[in-house]
Homo-oligomer: A and B are copies of this chain.
Amino acid sequence: MAKRDKEGTKQRILDAAIDVFSDKGYNGALVDDITKLSDTSKGAFYFHFPSKKSIFKALLGTLVERIVAEVDKAIEDKAGAELKIEAALETVLQIFSRHEKATRLLFLEATGLGKTFDREVFDAHQKFAAVIAGHLQSAIDDGSIAPLDVNLTAYAWLGAIHEVMLMSFLNPQSPPLAELTKPLKSLLMSALTKKAATK
């Protein structure tokens, strides 16, 4: 009906949904908010998605994959450089701070919904953790760092990142997320025992 019909109604709805959900939380977001923002209609919404729940789940899945893919690609490019794990960490932080809304949605709004989305939240977090854990493991395998519980560490890192982001969102006086990236990376890295490139 409007301008760029190119983009496709479904995509416009999905885009609007990210904004609305990340702004108001799952329950606070009305289907009407989404249709208004996307300049579509209730009918269009329910033509493309069977329910409000379903679009939220779709969003969770999609976003995780999209971000994980972006992280993977970015690391791949950067690799070879210093400690791969450091690159991974930096990339995750950068990408999270770039996709602020999506991240907020994945880590904040998706939580606290009772048992409704437990499965999806768990999966999402797990996928991120898997990326981190994978790179940690490689670093161990190639002897860059001393062995450690990669799983626990991955979740701990994820949590640390999440919390720092949360506080930066909530605290208007906090420095922008971008500025927190470097010190946070240092902090997390410092927990690793660097195997001195012996010899």
Contact = CB atoms under 8 A, between A and B. Distances in A.
The range of chain A's interface size is: 35 or more
A163 interface: yes
A57 B95 CA distance: 33
Contacts of A159: 159-164, 166
How many identical subunits does the complex contain? 4
A156 B27 CA distance: 28
The binding surface of chain A is classed by DSSP as: helix
B155 A163 contact: yes
Contacts of A167: 122, 125-126, 129, 155
22 contacts: A24-B114, A25-B116, A26-B112, A27-B114, A29-B114, A109-B112, A109-B114, A111-B111, A111-B112, A112-B113, A122-B167, A125-B166, A149-B187, A152-B184, A155-B164, A156-B160, A156-B163, A156-B188, A157-B160, A159-B162, A159-B163, A159-B166
